[in-house]
Amino acid sequence: MEYVIKGYEPADALRYFEEISAIPRGSKNEQAVAQYVYDFAKDLGLEARIDTTYWNVVVKKPASPGCEDKPAVMIQGHLDMVCEKNAGTAHDFEKDPLDLYIEDGLLKARGTTLGADNGQAVAYMMALLARNDLVHPPLECVFTSMEEIGLLGALQVDTSDLHSKYMLNVDCGPEGTVFVSCAGGLLQEISKKVRWEKAGGDTVSLQVRGLLGGHSAAMIDHEMGNSIKVMGRILHGIQKQMEVHIVSLSGGSKMNAIPRESDAVITVPAGQGDKAIEIASHIAATAKAELAASDGGLYLQCEKAGAAERQMSLADSRQIIEFIFLVKNGVYTMSMEMPGLVVCSSNLGVATTDDTGVQLTDFIRSSDPTIRDHLDDEIRSLAQLLDIEIAPADPMPGWKYEAESPLRQLFMKLYKEQTGKEMVAVATHGGLECGILKDKMPDLDIIAFGPTADGAHTPDESLDLASFERTWNLILATLKALAEQ
């Protein structure tokens, strides 16, 4: 193939990046790239295995001479990429190679995502496997699949034959930061089967609008309004003064997004529609004032509507309203070790209505499993009191911050030696594969990092090639230090 990236180092890693960029590798379409990496390793004479169900690949490389007795190091990243393109871009992510180009030292793809997330890790690992001039302990390179749609590959990785003491995850950035913790997750699928009856009284339509929303990890501590919770507050307020029957309830679209909009249609006793609107408008104004500094665009559209055909029973409506009003939402606990870090949170992300009743989706994030389980128990206990069901669910493990990490201390020391700058330790409330692998291998000492790459998951994605080289040099220095200590 004709290579685009010339004059930049490490030339071999960048060549591998170009080669995987020619292979379509969206989530759930990793078979070809997984086979490519597996064949690459086997051609090098390395021990490798491939999972032909989930398309994870594990490759082992012996230590460099004299380092055989050193603890093994896992290098880890994911094979899949997010496939997004600009309107008007003629690109088929199922068969077309990415169209790479360089602009002002930044590697980009024309009209599409670049896949530096996480092609950077794949390229680094391939170069580490192929080179014979490096000093390093035994290496265990783990290439996972379907990370972008829920860390699904990592959940299925077989670690029974892995023996690493240290783990370098290369799926974070920017350069100069080292990630030291991430949240796990627990999805709660909540449902209430209801008894339908013929509707009566005044029908009122309510629409919560104007909120900003945002990612339920990055924005959960920014005091954004949750439209479903605002709606629950409004319905609770009306219910305190009159009977309320739910006709329909909806809001949000994704478990991991703070919902921006929510709709409800209710019935109230005949002649009480105007009073219900007055109550709702007052509560919405109060909520807007409370959110003035963080999410002040809230407004309520509220009016009488045409007669409804059916409504939920009074008891079912009351239980649903009280659950939404009372259920925990937002930040639950903060870290006392790392200022500003959210340890545990909950996001009531989706509400829908169908013929059976109401379904809600709540997503708990936590880097501490005991706090996660406590919050889960609180919400389930509330649901039980209100005759609401929550389906059984398996949690996704988090990665709890550890004050003592020899690997992190070494890595930060080497970064300062190379750059003269202090590296910043960062904990994220988002999910990383580190949590899953830490759960499988509890003794792992983990860091997560990467070069500067901006615009992930968008067609504006770019990789800073100078940063790519500096990060490569830091990886080599870290492996050498671990081999010599």
The residues annotated as belonging to the active site are 80, 147
Question: Residue 193: CB partners within 8 Å, gap ≥ 6?
Answer: 356, 357, 389
Identify whether the C-beta of residue 135 lies closer than 8 Å to the C-beta of residue 484.
Answer: yes
Strand partners, 209: 299
Question: What are 305's two structure tokens?
Answer: 């509507």
Cβ-defined contacts of 409-418 (< 8 Å, 24+): 410/478, 410/481, 410/482, 410/485, 411/178, 411/447, 411/449, 411/474, 411/478, 412/178, 414/474, 414/477, 414/478, 414/481, 415/176, 415/178, 415/474, 417/477, 418/470, 418/473, 418/474, 418/477
Beta-carbon neighbour count of residue 331 at 10 Å? 16
- Taking the C-alpha atoms of residue 214 and residue 191, their distance in angstroms, rounded to an integer, is 24
Residue 234: enclosing H or E segment and its boundaries?
helix 227-239
Candidates 200, 201, 207, 202; CA nearest to 281 is: 207
Axis-axis angle for helices 116-130, 465-484 (nearest 10): 50
Using the 8-state DSSP alphabet, how is residue 147 labeled? G
